[in-house]
Structure 1
Amino acid sequence: MPADAAKVPAIVLMHERYGLVKHTRDIAERLARDGFVAIAPDFFYRHPDQDALHRGDAGYPFKDDEAIEHIDAAIAELATLPQVDRGKISVQGVCQTGRHPLVFAARHPIAAALIWYGAVSEKEWEVSERFPQAWCSGFSGRPTR
């Protein structure tokens, strides 16, 4: 959380397929330095072997309803903080959780849905027609030229 903050935007930072690892915590800290309130919950806390998950030797079958439940809880927590501008709460998904900001935004109003390296299949395009929020996505790959 930014030091000495008035009302500032907030972001629910969803982690990549490896669970809550240092990379995610580093992004949350960077967002806080940039003036956001950032919350980075461990969405895969139910996985029985966290070490294997963090190494990438195991996966977690994250369902949409579970994602929505966890995002709701994170937003509820953010809403208790006096520094948070409740009209400027966004959700960012990365890798495996990349699609979940779209899924959440289709059901709940948020300031923005941010997708980094997330899957965008026909199912996501159907969801995206149902919400008016701004969204941003980033993908990388080899240049074509």
Structure 2
Amino acid sequence: MEEPLETFLSKKPFTRREFVVTALAAGFALAVRPAFGELLTTDAGGLTAGEVKIPAKGGEMPAYRAMPEKGGGFPVVLVVQEIFGVHEHIKDICRRLAKRGYLAVAPELYARQGDVSKMADTQEIFKVVSRVPDAQVMADLDAAADWAGKSGKGDLKRLGITGFCWGGRIVWLYAAHSPRLKAGVAWYGRLVGQASDLQPQHPIDVAAKLKAPVLGLYGGADTGIPIETVERMRQALKAAGGGSEIVVYPDAPHAFHADYRPSYRKEAAQDGWKRLQAWFKKHGVA
């Protein structure tokens, strides 16, 4: 029998490392420069936006947050990075959410393991990312949510999460981990894999244990995530009940929402963004 994620976290705490990255990247990650695609840019007019420090195990975790300049009690959305870290694209997603009334916060989730923003070789990036324990990520996301609530601006009764690529996988895991979460939206996150000490379970293993409904957005032409695994996850979710759903865009490749990359597909990206907003509204994150 698979061990529940929360049981694993309680039995095998991750090493309490100090942070080696103390500030976010400026602009785009080196591995994705120069940026291509349509390169959507959201201005910060009417927003409070910028880098913040979030207390977490081992020190202070750098993060980007954006929210409306006036008011408070905003629904909170945790934004989970791609493998390239919290660079300009992830920051822009936070501003897009803030323009719609959210407090969006994107913590740098492998700040203890290394600064991938300055790495041009994706294989070197993978080496850093492979050292990031799921337990660490769950705890750091909890810390980011706590920070949003304690700021006096965020309403944790309306907590959501969205993530892309590496972060898409994390969305599924966090939905199995956090009892506070209301809803999640996972963009093309890996669903299956080999279990290891750092990654004891994958989304397919927790499909029946989700504490909040997740909307999965996937590309039918994604060469890194076989459609067979997407269908397996869809059937597992159907068997479990709970209201989670998966949408597949048949001709879309991996990273179809990444408007700064050649993989961007405008129609699928815009449709997925509309679905994200509707999903959050439907499930109380609005």
TM-score, normalised with respect to structure 1: 0.87
**Displacement over 4 Å in runs of 4+:** none
Whether 2:124 is the aligned partner of 1:45: answer no
State how far apart, in whole Å, the 2-side matches of 1:49 and 1:106 are: 28
1:115 counterpart residue number? 186
Identify the match of residue 127 of structure 1 among 206, 210, 219.
206
| Distance (whole Å) between structure 2 residues aligned to residue 4 and residue 41 of structure 1 | 23
Q: From the superposition, tell whether residues 49 and 3 of structure 1 become closer, same or farther in structure 2 (CA, over 3 Å).
A: closer
Partner of 1:120, secondary structure, is coil
1:58 is matched by which residue type in structure 2? I
1:16 matched residue in structure 2: 82
Letter in 2 for 1:33: K
CA distance in 1, matches of 2:157, 2:77: 11
- C-alpha separation between the residues in 2 aligned to 1:42 and 1:10? 17
Check if 1:32 corresponds to 2:106. no
Q: Distance in 2 between matches of 1:115 and 1:5?
A: 29
> What 5-or-longer segments of structure 2 have no aligned partner?
1-66, 194-201, 222-249, 252-286
Aligned with residue 87 of structure 1, among 112, 132, 157 = 157
Q: Which moved more, 1:6-15 or 1:41-50?
A: 41-50
Alignment equivalent of 1:73, drawn from 128, 137, 143 = 143
Letter in 1 for 2:212: Q
Distance 2:103 2:141 in 1: 15
Residue 131 of structure 1: SS of its match in structure 2?
coil
Larger radius of gyration: 2
Distance 1:18 1:49 in 2: 9
Q: Does 1:58 align with 2:144?
A: no
Identity fraction in percent: 25
Equivalent AA in structure 2 for residue 115 of structure 1? A
RMSD over equivalenced CA pairs, Å: 2.0
Task: Judge conservation of contact 2:77–2:160 (CA < 8 Å) in 1.
Answer: yes
Of structures 1 and 2, the one with the larger relative CO (CA 8 A, separation 6+) is: 1
- CA drift of 1:18 comes to 0.7
Partners of 1:78 and 1:66 in 2: how far apart? 18
Give the stretch that moved more between structures: 23-32 or 87-96: 87-96
Structure 1: runs of 5+ lacking an equivalent = none
Task: Give the alignment's TM-score, normalised by structure 2.
Answer: 0.46
Q: CA deviation at 1:49?
A: 4.6
- The amino acid that maps onto 2:89 is H
Q: What SS does the corresponding residue of 1:35 show, helix, strand or coil?
A: coil
In the TM superposition, what whole-angstrom CA distance separates every residue of 1:80-108 from its partner, at most 9, and x where no partner exists? 12232211111222101212122122122
Paired with 1:87 and 1:76, the residues of 2 have a C-alpha distance of 12
1:49-78: CA deviation from partner (whole Å, max 9, x where unpaired): 53116x635221232101111111101101
Pick aligned residue for 1:97 from 167, 172, 189: 167
Q: Equivalent of 2:73, from 7, 27, 44?
A: 7
